[in-house]
Structure 1
């Protein structure tokens, strides 16, 4: 599973690496030269008031409002969109052949790995924070940072689980996610603070790797022999969450969506903690019964 996660994670990085320089290029755009501009029109940066991106971007972003109209959210040319879509399609085809011929057959993972960034990370964060304040052309670079940390954290998290157990690693991911969402609630995006965009994406990528890998592993542990039903149910609810997230985007502001996300995160982790407690009690009961059987057998032999 870790190998598959790494492969798909690297595939996501390849896509973002291809789209980042493409968005910053002038492909398909009309370039205004000095000859096409009127000589009597001069602009001074000193005459323009500074833009307060934090007032309409980040947690204050509402997709249905016209107050956030700025040049950062100007859509790229249609040619760029078509080229990026072609790159994405080519990477998908390459990933299919890579998994089909380069990975050992694991029927329980035939659903593949689809990262959680297809919900809040790819929709709200890239639009309300990165695109609105930092510029659409920089989204690809920020998502590269997310993909790199996502791919690296998957095997690292798996190795730590073997040493500390699953619960401490999940608690760490919870703390990272809560800290990240709290930062999004209070931070006012500023293009001058460009390093913060990459830091938030990196933290999100690390936490996302833990959630996806460990929840998948837990599903297989809890339902031995019924892995197909378990993973199908997992994918169903994952897809349902993505659909609801995209469908509600035009009607809910980012502040409301982040608040809902924090609530769902706490409820979900409470359910996971309950499962871990039940598993611990079941293992402890089984260990006590096994110990009693061994003592009984030893007494009978004596």
Structure 2
């Protein structure tokens, strides 16, 4: 199955939202899940193979180029939050049903109240926009999805046909790769990274679900959600590009520490903050900081998997998506049953567990670096890197684009 079919599954979910209901959203959600996971695993494998290949040509460390490639990818990917939320805000901003928020309702925003009553029918800030506006927005998303399919079909090189054999030899059957995903759990490094990977799902689901509902929608109205998430997307996109390049100078550990410290500070602040429309700027500060931290979690975790498991790339990235998705599932599963305060405590607990387990893997990798794989067995990337260090920097090829 090629990338066009997998992108088509995202478009099918958009079609399901034209007439949302159990009979449309459940089947399209299943289709989306079946296509989304292979697509993300393929993306990670593609970038890792391309990064190692380019590193060998340029005389650079494979991990540095992989970090840079993931940074560029997430810069483009996270920018979609800017354009998508800009469309939703501009379209929903035309709604004639926008009303002022009463002061008594503002007293229930944030952790002041349990947060489970935000979706009640009496809440004036969650009134459904006009149906024609919903159709307009979904139609725009469908159009963008179709355009993405066309771009991939026309411009993306099929790396499997040209260069994959240089990295992994004969292509293995699907069931072998499927079982390899679970066999890789025997590797203690992967098991130790599970909290880090799941936290990525927890923190993304919190911002997109809980923050937008219990803080933004409750205090400002649903039409402000797009603008706030635009701030998250813009910061995330720029920081993804920045940290992808900065990692070669600071290392992964320093960036992960920065992300953990940022999220920790935000979680503590959200426990005590009482949102009010008079504090408009604060509503954008949290997603901006969260976007910076998420940029690190996304780029560096993906790059870390590519560096640690160069011989099991498909299985490693399949595990990454599986555990990250499990974090999403758990967070959304308890979202309608637990109070907001408890959700923040759970998020904080997973973050603390991540801070404890991740350094173990990083320390082991620092002491015994995993050698990248080029041509299946040799360490050409590291050899080329050492050779490149002996040459004059002016003579080293610095072209890093595919």
- Tell me the TM-score range normalised by the shorter chain: 0.7 to 0.9
Larger radius of gyration: 1
TM-score normalised to structure 1 length:
0.78
Give the Å deviation of 1:283: 4.2
Paired residues in the alignment total: 260
2:331 matched residue in structure 1: 245
Aligned to 2:139: 86
Which of 257, 260, 277 is the equivalent residue of 1:174?
Answer: 260
What secondary structure is seen at the aligned counterpart in 1 of 2:226? helix
Select the residue among 46, 53, 59 that pairs with 2:111: 59
* Aligned-partner SS, 1:197: helix
TM-score (norm 2): 0.59
Q: Are positions 1:225 and 2:277 aligned together? A: no
Gaps of 5+ in 1: 32-44, 109-114, 285-302
Q: How far off is 1:57 after superposition?
A: 1.0
- State yes or no: 1:6 paired with 2:75: yes
Distance 1:103 1:270, change over 3 A: farther
Judged with a 3 Å threshold, the aligned counterparts in structure 2 of structure 1 residues 89 and 265 are, in CA distance, closer, same or farther, namely farther
Q: Report the counterpart of residue 141 of structure 1 in structure 2.
A: 227
1:43-58 alignment, distance < 5 Å: 50-51=103-104, 53=106, 55-58=107-110
The one of the two structures with greater contact order (alpha-carbon pairs below 8 A, sep at least 6) is: 2
Deviation at 1:144, TM superposition (A): 0.7
* Deviations 1:202-249, CA, capped at 9 Å, x for gaps: 111111011000000000111011111010001011111111211211
1:72 corresponds, among 125, 129, 140, to: 125
Deviations 1:245-288 (A, max 9, x none): 1121110111111110010011122211110111122249xxxx
User: Residues 245, 93 of structure 1: CA spacing in aligned structure 2 closer, same or farther, 3 A cutoff?
Assistant: farther
Moved runs in structure 1, 4+ residues, more than 6 A?
A: none
Q: 1:105 to 1:219 in 2, by over 3 A?
A: farther
CA distances 1:48-74 after superposition (whole Å, capped 9, x unpaired): 984361x31112354543797432222
- Write out aligned runs for 1:77-226 (5 A): 77-102=130-155, 119-226=205-312
Q: Distance in 2 between matches of 1:50 and 1:182?
A: 25
CA-atom RMSD, angstroms?
Answer: 2.7
